[in-house]
Amino acid sequence: MGEPSRKTTISAALNQTFMIDCKAGFVGQKCECSIGEKDESSLRAACRKDNGTECEGRGDCVCGICQCYALQGGSTYYGKHCECENESCEKFQNKLCGGNGKCRCKKCECNTGYEGTACQCKKSDEQCRTPSGSVCSGRGTCQCNQCKCIEGYQRPYCLTCPACQTPCITKGKCVECLGFQTGPFSKNCSQTCKSINEFEMVETLPPGKPCDVRDVENCRVFFTIKQLDGEDNYSAQILKTRECPELPNIYAIIGGSIAAVAMIGLLILLIIKGVLYWNDLKEYRKFENEQKRKNSKWKKHLLFSDRNSTILHAL
C-alpha cells in the first residue's frame, strides 16, 4: 500500500481530535464536513479574523467554521469568529444597558424612548433647542439632551466658534460680487457664493460697527453679516453707497504742472541773467582798473612835463 494522501492525513487528524471515525475526505462531529480541495492552512485561516487568534480564543475551529463556547451565565459567544457576546455592554446604575435596552454584540440596543451608550438617557432635545427652535443651531447633534457640536463650535447651542475666522473677512469678496457685480467672484458669483443665501441692499445699516472690505476700485464696501442655522449659511445687508477715494483734479494737476514748468524756466533765466551780469560786472571792473592805471600814468607824465617847462622858463 502507498502512503496516504495529504487530504486523507488532514481528515484523519481532525477526526482523531473529535474521536469520530469518518470516511476519508470528511470531518466534523457527525462527519458532515467535506474537505474538498482545501488544505489545513486554508481551513484554519477561515476561523481567524484579520489574521488573529482562531475563533478569538472563544471557540474551536471545525472544518473552517468556529464552534463557540458557552458562557457561565448560560449564554454563548456568537458571530463568525465568536467575537460577540451579550454580557459585556456598558452599564448604568449597575445595570446592563441601564435596564433600558438589550446587549447585542457588546453594544446596547436601546428600547423606544431611550438613548445613549448605556441607554441611560430619555430621548429629548428640549435642552438642545435654541430660542428660535432649531436643534443645536444646525451645527451639531443632540445627545442625551445636550448638543454635541461640530469642531470649533461651543455648547450649549453651538452658536459661537471662537477659533473660526470672522465672516467679515471670509465673505467680503462674496459681498462685493453680490452687491456690486465686481471682484474676483463676479463671473460665477451665484455658484461661488451660495453660502450667502439671503442679502439686501440698504440705504443705512443697523447700529453697531459694520464690516468693510476694499473692492477692486479701492472703494470701501460696508455690510453686516449674520450666520443662520447650519455650518456655512449666512444673510447679509449691504450698504448701497460705497466710500471711494476722491478722483484727482485734472485741471489743477495740469495748471500746477504748467506753473511749475514756468517757475523752473524763470529760475533758469534768472540764473543765466545773474551769471551774465556777474561776468559783465567783472569785465567792467577790469576795464575800470585799466582806465585807472592809464589815468595814473598820464598824470605822472603831465607832472613831469610841467616841471621841465618851469625849469626852462627859469633859465
Q: What is the CATH number of the domain that holds 183?
A: 4.10.1240
What was the pLDDT predicted at 245?
86
Q: Among residues 239, 265, 299, which one ends one of the domains?
A: 239
DSSP letter at 106? T
Give the structural domain span for 35.
6-83
pLDDT in tens, 94-142: 999 999 999 999 899 999 999 999 999 999 999 999 998 999 999 999 9
271 lies in some domain: no
Q: Among residues 239, 269, 297, which one ends one of the domains?
A: 239
Joined together, the cell numbers standing for residue 41 give 492552512
> Into how many domains does the chain fold?
2
Q: What is the CATH number of the domain that holds 43?
A: 2.10.25.10
Residue predicted with more confidence, 97 or 40: 97
107 lies in some domain: no
Q: Is the pLDDT of residue 18 over 50?
A: no
Pair 66, 47: CB distance under 8 Å: yes
Residues in the chain: 315
Pair 196, 235: CB distance under 8 Å: yes
Pair 217, 179: CB distance under 8 Å: no
Q: Among residues 239, 269, 285, which one ends one of the domains?
A: 239
CA-to-CA distance for 310 and 308, rounded, in angstroms? 5
Confidence of residue 63 (pLDDT cuts 50, 70, 90): confident
Say whether pTM exceeds 0.75.
Answer: no
Lowest mean pLDDT among 157-166, 180-189, 278-287: 278-287
21 lies in some domain: yes
301 lies in some domain: no
pLDDT in tens, 191-211: 999 999 999 999 999 998 999
229 lies in some domain: yes
Confidence of residue 3 (pLDDT cuts 50, 70, 90): very low
Instruction: Using the CB atoms, write b or e for 141-161: b if 16+ within 10 Å.
Output: ebebebbebeeebeeebbeeb
274 lies in some domain: no
CA-to-CA distance for 81 and 13, rounded, in angstroms? 22
11 lies in some domain: yes
pLDDT in tens, 237-276: 999 999 998 766 666 667 778 888 888 888 888 888 888 8
Q: Is the pLDDT of residue 34 over 90?
A: no
187 lies in some domain: yes
